Amino acid sequence: MNQVFLEEKRNVIGRLRMEALELTTELSRASLNLDACEGSDPCDRSASESAVTETIAKRKQRWGRLAKLANLLPLLEEWDGRCDSCGDFDVSLKRVESSLSLTCVTCKTEEERIERMQGGKHA
Ligand SMILES: [Zn+2]
């Protein structure tokens, strides 16, 4: 572990923390908006229903990302740059920031292949 890596890692952690915070704020605000619409006459029923469905889908996505962030951040504090799965130093911080995982491309591809095989019966 060198100084540059540690510094970059600090930056990434800072940005991801900020994102988690923003997501939390956004999600708590979103739930207020949703409640405000329920049972009030000015909301067109079908329009508001599809809006609600859309909001819920979006929120699910955000919750997913927030959950990943919450998992990742404590791990990232101790992380030395190694793949979580195979232990190779083959994971860039850029990759961690975009994929929110500590696995290298090779392991991730393998994981997805297995997932696809397991989920094959639904396809
Ligand atoms: Zn790996």
pLDDT digits (tens, 9 = 90+) for 46-68: 778 888 888 889 889 999 999 99
Alpha-carbon distances of 43 from 26, 34, 40, 49, rounded to whole Å: 22, 11, 6, 9
Q: What pLDDT sits at residue 123?
A: 47
Ligand 1 center from residue 34 Cα (angstroms): 42
Q: What pLDDT sits at residue 15?
A: 97
Ligand 1 center from residue 65 Cα (angstroms): 22
Alpha-carbon distances of 11 from 63, 70, 97, 121, rounded to whole Å: 23, 17, 10, 42
Same-domain check for residues 23 and 73: yes
Same-domain check for residues 5 and 46: yes
Same-domain check for residues 18 and 57: yes
Burial of 117 (0-12, 13-18, 19+ CB in 10 A): exposed
Ligand 1 center from residue 79 Cα (angstroms): 14
> How many separate domains does the chain show?
2
pLDDT digits (tens, 9 = 90+) for 78-111: 999 999 999 999 899 999 999 999 999 999 999 9
Ligand 1 center from residue 114 Cα (angstroms): 15
Ligand 1 center from residue 52 Cα (angstroms): 40
Return the DSSP state at 41.
T
Contacts of 70 (CB under 8 A, 6+ apart): 20
Q: What pLDDT sits at residue 46?
A: 74
